[in-house]
Amino acid sequence: DAGVIQSPRHEVTEMGQEVTLRCKPISGHDYLFWYRQTMMRGLELLIYFNNNVPIDDSGMPEDRFSAKMPNASFSTLKIQPSEPRDSAVYFCASSPVGGPYEQYFGPGTRLTVT
């Protein structure tokens, strides 16, 4: 298995633009998590899904952020419009059913909003 796949690995965009981050979880994992990591705030859970259904989105900072999981092998995190304070590394992670168990993190997307 290739592990959790995220794209793009780096994204540089201008303030006000829409940004879409993508994630493919490990096959067979029923849980998918989106995190944001910054020096100031550490590793923050934004939202997580179980069987493609959002379970807890209380970490989503504001309405500019949205996440979807249309099927078991794909999820997106969208920021519209983007702001400089959204600059961070965004990680996607997946976990198998029956846990809680280890979360397998993707390589992350480094987002820079200028």
Partner 1 sequence: GENVEQHPSTLSVQEGDSAVIKCTYSDSASNYFPWYKQELGKRPQLIIDIRSNVGEKKDQRIAVTLNKTAKHFSLHITETQPEDSAVYFCAASSTGGFKTIFGAGTRLFVKA
| Unique residue bearing structure tokens 């796949």 | 5
* Per CB under 8 A, 55 contacts partner 1: yes
- The set of residues, in sequence order, having a beta carbon less than 8 Å from that of 43 and lying 6+ positions away, is 35, 36, 37, 91
What is the spatial distance between Cα 25 and Cα 33, in angstroms, rounded to a whole number?
A: 9
Question: What is the SS3 assignment for 37?
Answer: strand
Q: CB under 8 A: which stretch of 11-19, 21-29, 50-58, 72-80 binds partner 1?
A: 50-58
- How many residues bind to partner 1 according to rule CB under 8 A? 21
Binding segment for partner 1 among 10-18, 20-28, 49-57, 61-69 (CB under 8 A)?
49-57
Contact residues for partner 1, defined by CB under 8 A: 31, 33, 42-45, 48, 50, 55-56, 91, 95, 99-103, 105-108
